Amino acid sequence: MPFAPESFPQDTAQGLVTAAGPAPLVVVQGLCKQFPGGAAPALQGIDATVFAGRMTGLVGPDGAGKTTLLRLMVGLMHGNAGSVTVAGHNAATQAEAIHEVTGYMPQKFGLYEDLTVLENLTLYADLRHVVGKARQERFQQLLHFTDLERFQKRLAGKLSGGMKQKLGLACALLGNPRLLLLDEPSVGVDPISRRELWGMVRELLDGGMGVVWSTAYLDEAEKCDTVILLNQGVKLYDGPPKSLLQSVAGRVFQARGVQEHDRRRVLTHLLQQESVMDGVIQGRYVRVTLREGATTPPLEHGEWVAAAPCFEDAFINALGGGPGGRSRLAESMEVKPVTDQAVIKAQDLTKCFGNFVAVKDNTFRIARGEIFGLLGPNGAGKSTTFKMMCGLLQPTHGKAFVMGLDLKTATSAARSRIGYMAQKFSLYGQLNVLQNLKFFSGLYGLGGRLQKERIDLMVSIFDLHAYLGMNAGVLPLGFKQRLALACSVMHHPDVLFLDEPTSGVDPITRREFWTHINGMVEKGVTVMVTTHFMDEAEYCDRIGFIYRGENIATGSPDDLKAMARTAAMPEPTLEDAFITLVERSDAAREGAA
Amino acid sequence: MRRLWALIRKESLQIVRDPSAILIAFILPIILLFIFGYGVNLDTNRVRVGLVLEEYTAQTNALAATLRGSKFLAVTQGHDRREMQAALTSGALRGFLVVPKGFTAQTAAGGSAAIQVIADGSEPNIASFVQNYAKAVTALWLAQQTMGGNDATPQTGAGNLHQLLAQPPNSTATIQAKSRFWYNPELKSRNFLLPGSIAIVMTLIGTLLTALVVAREWERGTMEALMATPVTITQLLLGKLIPYFFLALSSMAVCFLAAVFWYDVPFRGSFLALLAVTSVFLLAALGQGLLISSLAKDQFLAAQVALISAFLPAFMLSGFIFEISAMPTPIRTLTFAFAARYFVSALQTLFLVGNVWPLLLSCMGAMGGIALVFFLITARKSVKRLDA
Amino acid sequence: MIAFFRRIRALIGKELLTLFRDPKVRIILIAPPMMQLFIFSFAATLEVKNVSVAVLNQDNGKHGLALVHRVAASPTFTRMVFVQSQAELVPLLDEQRIIAALHIAPDFSRGVESGQGASVQLIMDGRRSNAAQIVSGYITSIITAYSMEISKTSGGTPPPALTIERNWFNENLIYLWFTVPSLVAVLAMLITIMVTALSVAREKELGTFEQLLVSPLVPWELLLGKTLPAILVGFCEGLMIVAISVTIFRIPFTGSFLLLAATLLVFVISLVGIGLFLSSISSTQQQAILGAFVFLVPAVTLSGFASPVENMPHWLQVAGLVNPLRHALIPIKGLFLKNMPAIDVWANIWPMLIIAVVGLVLSGWFFTRRLE
């Protein structure tokens, strides 16, 4: 039975192109941008075209050059070579003309948080010369369109992420622009708002507007009419997402029926096969991408089922394949003692900041050698929960136990058994790589020969040789994250807390991280991880869905998907499941109110 | 024009809603004026001095009484020099007088008997005052002696130093010097220190506040959004300048009211002149703030640069407390580059003297020139770009 | 125990590295204090030099002229402005072109010669009352000297008593001798406060503080690891300024170096306590900077450096007791100029010790409160 592709409604992606006829709105030719003091160029020889009436996805991990490209398009930066033309105007010399016809929403939405919704709109309307009766009409229209009518008097800072995003969009739309540039509009926004925004922007295309939507979420890219795929300043692909998916068509398979406890070992084994280019855990299945022309390797248990390729498969393919399945990090570790007790336990964990309830009655247990993921949009309370578990925040009420202890008051011996990798890069930027490694190993009481051995091992595993003398603050993002992981595991912790460990990194580094995590879990390390990538949550044994501070559901990825399964949606994705569960939770809240 | 007005309105709304702007504009000045008003005081009243009488006669006792009666000296009488020396070393006394053995005999013989006045040179300013006071009180005592009364209740208890100094220093001397202090006859140092501190406070507000608010726009990404609209760079700069100009004027009003009504500093100039001088100064201060913010795009750096390039020079090099005339030539030349210097001078004049237009105009000219330089550099540095 | 030493060693090493690896921070630690030392040493002066004096000599006799010559010969007055009428004096004084005016009346010489006595009038600019009083003192003593000379030559009686001025410790009242030793303390304070106030706040902002909190460090180890390097830096910087004071500025150092080192050390510890406290209550570097500013301005202003402590209202003098700079200035100046004995130094050290203990205990307590 062929597996139903987990793709998105296809009707939107077509039809529009033919309606308006492709008219080039933005033409980028041979564009290069080098920042003074920057090691590598931010953009290298980019050629791209943006058409009116189409949704162009600007896709890539952090540091790929997405924001730089957008800023070059809107004339806020000048390139070192090449040209950008927007609606016939040269971005370097005629920026004023471009500003007249362009709506631009920067990251963080460009809103004044201490002005109200209406005041923000009025400001941008004045700046864009939308006056008189036209303004009233436009305001009505936009407020209705964004569903912000009820919140006109509310301060922008008091809006939720999703509402801020809509207001930012409304402000960018004020002058009836021909080109709309959106810089990571979906960061920090819950999946429902993301979908709503997507729908709204889609509507705009009908009017012939050209839209550039930059994103680090590869699943969003699949829904665009056309994508520009960037990685480290280099364009990897430019064209409809379908064609990119074509590159891995027929090479993606799921191994089904693998024993639950055996998935990670199977994956490791598969990744070592010559025929396998890339592979991940996907709920209870193992998903692999084969090399071109290769056939599926034999399985001990279960069977191979063809799967629909997704954008990430294609991305990895474009980058030349995944990192393989061996984790030398995990191999160097000893097996952690077996216990039947929950290693991590949260009981009615609640945290209030003033009137704001950041986390409410969160309860879960994590067993030894288990990966537990907290999944939810930014600001949902993941990090707060996390910090309470680590003893960094005092719960308002409820209890957090790690290995039976409250970490806030635990002895230093107990705390030396955990490892912690913070959400954003939090090593010492002014210290070089070696000094960071020395510091963190010393902090965990390592010294003498053992310290030296461990440092050498980390350097070799994470390929840090070339960077040893470089300040950690100026490392490429991927190496920053590698160094952070190295620093948090050098003392071989029993429990590992990872707060968004792969946020912003390219898919290859992500694969590498998960290889290590999987390897360590096999050795009995317990891992608690937060993420806002839905696909990454699939790698976890169990997930807690966090929404508005509440844990709305806990279970294995497949359990959670099952909760959302309906006749209309027989094979829901994790995102579908999340949205369904959020809607149920909202309905329950409203019902209660 | 509509765009500029929209920016001004936005900025004003932000000021009204942002507690930290109000804090810096109204609370900080009051705190600083409080510290400067009470803490910085050069009126050396009641200097702690010691007195050693090496002989006790009617004359020396009268001298001791005159000294003790002086309003300016807090006299501790001791037995010998060693004791005084220890007290001088520990800082318990700022100086001491020794009336030597044979003093009475020598005065009677018609020779000049010497009273030794030893001051603590490690505090040069106080030392000068110790010497001046001692001299003046001795002269007073001599005058009383000549007038032929061993009046143990000298009149020095009343009056001020200027009266003391204006006294005939020595009625037997041929020439008498009479000092008169214009503008500030009671010689209250607060009268000139407070107008000076207002200048420092306004420097801080004008420069720090502007630098911070522009840096905040950069940090929050709103600057990027503004730049992508058809607004021009001049409008952006004016949109910052105008609201903060008026905010700073209102904190000037607060400072002014505090100085006149709380600290009783006289104000002899006209409001119009004060407004004119303040306006020109604010242009320079705000211009500096804008320049800082166009170079330093995060609040942390902006605050540091503002403190080092505006606050410290205003404190040290403006003549508000330290004497510019006594600085070596290179540093004295440096002081001409800071608008605060001229503002201090203009404010002191407006408060204590009146509308001395030649002085006010030259100060305004210099401050205007400094403002112009800041604006020219800012205009050159500011473009609607993020990578310039 | 070994682990404990390794942790502390790692912490101290890290603190020193963060301070000295970054060339920018290195410059911030060295350049501004040195610049401030050189500029402020000369700028922070209440001395009177290079001032202009106007002379209105309406007297035709020799005494008026002689007196004017005496005044003009004084090195304090670099410029003499001669005017013809009183009306001319007013704008000169108004526009601050002169600080004082000497008015000799037409009958001056006659009065002197007749033996009846004569007077001269001094008009001073009260806007600069401090300088004006000192100038007034200078001119008065010139006049008195001249007056006595005349009495002597004319065979009059000298005054029965006069005062002999002596200034101990700084015979010529060189202002630099006051400013530079004071700046040792002031600048050591600026640096120490900046370094410590930022240290925890920076780590909080960058997120590294969380890493430290989840590590096996216990709070007092963290406190120790933050304190020792800051003390080292502040102390060394203080000693460096002492060295410059003695070698370049040639300020006499009369006291015991050991006592000076002890004073500096206790002073720096008390500052580290305050700085860490400021740092641990602020969550961003900006707040820490603001906090440091709010502490530093009154601390310097009310320390006795800008104007004498005894001139302040009594309640402010009492409130200022919590200011370590005020206590430190006395023994540091004392050791430089006065060869201050240990007992007097101790009298100023113990209040700083109390401040240090309170500051360190408070910041330690805030450390344990973690990230709330």
Task: Measure A440 CA to nearest chain B CA, in Å.
Answer: 28
Cβ contact C286–B299 (<8 Å): yes
Q: Do C177 and B124 touch (CB under 8 A)?
A: yes
Report the sign of the C-alpha dihedral through residues A551, A556, A557, A558, in that order.
negative
pLDDT higher than 70, residue A178: yes
CB count within 10 Å of CB A538 equals: 23
Which letter does DSSP use for residue B266 in this model? Answer: -
Q: Which residue of chain C comes nearest to A351, CA vs CA?
A: C372
Contact between C67 and B189 using a beta-carbon 8 Å cutoff: no
In this structure, the answer to whether residues A57 and A112 fall within a common structural domain is: yes
Same domain for A300 and A339: no
Same domain, A126 and A200: yes
- Chain C residue at shortest CA distance from B43: C311
How many angstroms away from the CA of C273 is the closest CA of chain B?
22
CB contact under 8 A, C139 and B177: yes
Q: Which two tokens stand for residue C299?
A: 């601390």
CA distance C292 to chain A (A): 23
Range of the domain at A100: 11-243
| Cα distances (Å, whole numbers) of residue C362 to A499, B283, C223, C275, C276 | 31, 43, 11, 11, 9
User: Looking at CA atoms only, how far is residue B20 from chain A in angstroms?
Assistant: 12
pLDDT of res. B156 = 39
In this complex, which of A394, A429, A445 lies closest to C7 when CB atoms are compared? A445
Chain A interface mutation, best of C208, C217, C283, C367, highest count of A Cβ atoms under 10 Å: C208
Chains contacting B (3+ CB pairs below 8 angstroms): A, C
Residues A378/A188, Cβ–Cβ less than 8 Å:
yes
Q: How many helices (H) and strands (E) does chain B have?
A: 18, 5
Task: Say yes or no to pLDDT of A8 above 80.
Answer: no
Q: Are C340 and C258 in contact (CB under 8 A)?
A: no
Could you give the angle at which helices C23-43 and C175-206 cross, rounded to 10 degrees?
Answer: 150
Q: Distance from A101 to chain B by nearest Cα, in Å?
A: 9
**H or E element that contains C108:** helix C108-114
**Is the same domain home to A40 and A173?**
yes
First to last CA, chain B: 27
Say whether B184 and C289 touch across the interface (CB within 8 A). Answer: no
For C319, the closest chain B residue by CA position comes to: B39
Distance CA C338, CA B121 (A): 9
Ordered by start, the domain boundaries in chain B are 2-40+188-381, 47-166
Find chain A residues with C-beta within 8 A of B20's C-beta. Answer: none
| A89-110 mean pLDDT | 89
**What is the arithmetic mean of pLDDT over A283-292?**
88
Average pLDDT over residues B226-245: 90
On whether both A413 and A548 belong to a single domain, the answer is yes
Which residues does chain A have within 8 Å of residue B9's beta carbon, measured at their own beta carbons? 123
Please tell me whether residues A155 and A217 are part of one structural domain: yes
Q: Domain for residue A554, yes or no?
A: yes
Q: What string of DSSP letters covers C293-349?
A: HHHHHHHHHTTTSSS-GGGS-HHHHHHGGG-HHHHHHHHHHIIIII---HHHHHHHH
Residues of A in contact with C371 (CB under 8 A): 387, 392-393
CB pair distance less than 8 Å for A76 and B385: yes
CA distance A148 to A143: 5
pLDDT tens per residue across span A368-408: 989 999 988 777 888 888 888 888 888 898 988 888 888 77
**Sheet harboring A55-59: ordered strands across?**
A102-105, A179-183, A210-215, A55-59, A226-231, A234-239
Torsion of CA B43, B195, C297, C251, to 10 degrees: -50
- Give the end of a domain, one of A301, A325, A349: A325
Please give, rounded to a whole number of angstroms, the shortest distance from the CA of B118 to a CA of chain C: 5
- pLDDT of B63 strictly over 90: no
- Using CB atoms, which residue from C147, C302, C330 is nearest to B174? C147
Residue B50, beta-bridge partner list: B76, B96
Min Cα distance C235 → chain A (Å) is 23
pLDDT winner (highest mean) among A196-210, B12-26, B143-157, C255-269: C255-269
3-state secondary structure of C45: coil
Identify all chain A residues contacting C7, using CB atoms and an 8 Å cutoff.
Answer: 442-445
- CATH placement of domain B47-166: 3.40.190.10
The radius of gyration computed from the CA coordinates of chain B, to the nearest angstrom, equals 28
Of A423, A433, A498, A426, the closest CA to residue A462 belongs to A433
pLDDT in tens, B196-234: 999 999 998 889 888 888 888 888 888 888 988 888 888
Structure confidence at residue B365 (pLDDT): 97
Look at C127 and B348 and tell me if their CB atoms are within 8 Å. yes
Shared domain for A110 and A65, answered yes or no, is yes
How many other CB atoms sit within 10 Å of the CB of residue B246? Answer: 13
Instruction: Specify whether A293 is located in the same domain as A337.
Output: no
A42 contacts in chain B (CB < 8 Å)? none
From the list A78, A100, A114, which residue is nearest B17 (CB)?
A114
Q: Cα distance from B137 to chain C (closest Cα, Å)?
A: 10
pLDDT tens, position by position, B93-107: 999 999 988 888 888
Q: How far is CA B162 from CA A139, B291, C49, C313, in A?
A: 72, 46, 21, 21
Q: How far is A439 from chain C (nearest CA, A)?
A: 5
According to DSSP, the β-strands at B73-78 and B47-53 are parallel
Contacting residues for A293 by C-beta, under 8 A, at least 6 apart:
none
Last residue of a domain, one of A243, A274, A299: A243
In sequence order, what are the beta bridge partners of C51? Answer: C77
Name the residue of chain A whose CA is nearest to B236's CA.
A127
Strands A344-353 and A397-402: antiparallel
Q: Tell me, rounded to whole angstroms, the distance of Cα B2 from its chain centroid.
A: 43
If you search the block for the tokens 């019902």, which residue do you land on?
Answer: A591
Whether residue A133 is found in the same domain as residue A239: yes
Q: Do C210 and A428 touch (CB under 8 A)?
A: no
Domains of chain C, start order: 22-44+173-368 (no CATH), 51-153 (3.40.1710.10)
Mean pLDDT taken over chain B = 85
pLDDT digits (tens, 9 = 90+) for B64-89: 888 888 878 889 988 888 899 899 99
Does residue A438 lie within any of the structural domains? no
Cα–Cα distance, A536 to A282 (Å, whole number): 9
Does the beta-carbon distance from B192 to C122 stay under 8 Å?
no
Distance CA B45, CA A386 (A): 63
Please report, in angstroms and rounded to a whole number, the separation of the first and last CA atoms in chain C: 30
Q: Does the pLDDT value for residue A7 go beyond 80?
A: no
DSSP, collapsed to helix, strand or coil, labels residue B52 as strand
A250-273 confidence digits (pLDDT tens): 899 999 888 878 888 888 889 888
Is B3 in Cβ contact with A126 (below 8 Å)?
yes
Residues in chain C predicted with pLDDT less than 70, given as ranges, are 24, 154-160, 368-372
- Select the residue from C17, C204, C214 to test the A interface by mutation, using most A Cβ atoms within 10 A: C214
What total number of domains does chain A contain? Answer: 3
Read off the pLDDT of each residue in A426-453 and give the average, rounded to a whole number: 91
* Sign, Cα dihedral of A450, A456, A462, A464: positive
Q: A15 in helix, strand or coil?
A: coil
Instruction: Give the mean pLDDT of A344-349.
Output: 90
Shortest CA gap C240–chain A (Å): 25
Hey, are the CB atoms on B227 and A96 less than 8 Å from each other?
A: no
Interface size between B and C, measured as CB pairs under 8 A? 329
Please name which of B232, C113, C178 lies closest in space to residue A127, comparing C-alpha atoms: B232
Look at strands A234-239 and A24-33 and give their pairing. Answer: unpaired
Query: Which domain-ending residue is among A260, A295, A325?
Result: A325
Q: Which residues pair with A305 in a beta bridge?
A: A254
Residue of C nearest to B146 (CA): C160
Average pLDDT over residues A72-101: 90
Q: Where is C139: in which H helix or E strand? A: helix C129-153
Mutate to test the interface with B, among A104, A126, A169, A182 (most CBs of B within 10 A): A126
State the Cα–Cα distance between residues A428 and A426, nearest whole angstrom: 7
Contacts of B8 in chain A (CB under 8 A): none
From the list C13, C221, C371, the residue facing A439 with the nearest CB is C13
In the block, residue with structure tokens 């729908």:
A199
Asked whether residue A483 is domain-assigned, the answer is: no
CB neighbours of residue B88 within 10 Å: 25
Mean pLDDT of A73-86: 91
Tell me, yes or no, whether A531 and A387 share the same domain. Answer: yes
pLDDT band at A593 (very low <50, low <70, confident <90, very high): low
- Do B331 and C39 count as a contact with CB atoms less than 8 A apart? yes
Which residue among B107, B127, B325 places its CB closest to the CB of C173? B127
- Report d(CA A63, CA A137) in Å as an integer: 40
The answer to whether residue A291 sits within a structural domain is yes
- State the alpha helices, DSSP H only, in B75-151: 81-90, 103-108, 124-146
Contacts of A432 in chain C (CB under 8 A): 21
Point out which residues pair with A211 in neighbouring strands. Answer: A55, A180
- Are residue A142 and residue A67 in the same domain, yes or no? yes
Question: Where is A542: in which H helix or E strand?
Answer: strand A542-547
B120-133: average pLDDT: 88
Chains that touch A (3 or more CB pairs under 8 A): B, C
* CA B384 distance to own-chain centroid: 41
Crossing angle of helices C219-247/C23-43, nearest 10°? 50
Q: How far does the CA of residue C52 sit from the closest CA of chain B (Å)?
A: 10
CB proximity list for B65: less than 8 A, separation 6 or greater: B152, B154
Name B24's Cβ contacts closer than 8 Å, sequence gap at least 6: B205, B208, B209, B212
Higher pLDDT: A342 or A188? It is A342
What CATH number is attached to the domain comprising A386?
A: 3.40.50.300
Q: Do B192 and C39 touch (CB under 8 A)?
A: no
What type of residue sits at position B9? R
Coil/strand/helix, residue A294: coil
**CB of B169 within 8 Å of any CB in chain C?**
yes
Between C13, C214, C216, which is nearest A445 by CB? Answer: C216
Mean pLDDT of A140-146: 87
Q: Is position A184 within any domain?
A: yes
Q: Are B224 and A123 inside 8 Å of each other by CB? A: no
Q: Which of A172-181, B305-314, C98-107 shows the lowest mean pLDDT across its residues?
A: B305-314
Sign of the four-CA dihedral A188, A62, A532, A484: negative
Residues A409, A319 share a domain: no
Q: Give contacts of C3 with chain A, Cβ < 8 Å.
A: 412, 416, 445, 447
Between A92 and B169, the higher pLDDT residue: A92
A53, part of any domain: yes
pLDDT value at position B250?
93
Q: What percentage of chain B exceeds 70 in pLDDT?
A: 92
Residues of A within 8 A of C214 (CB-CB) are 390-392, 407, 415, 418, 420, 497
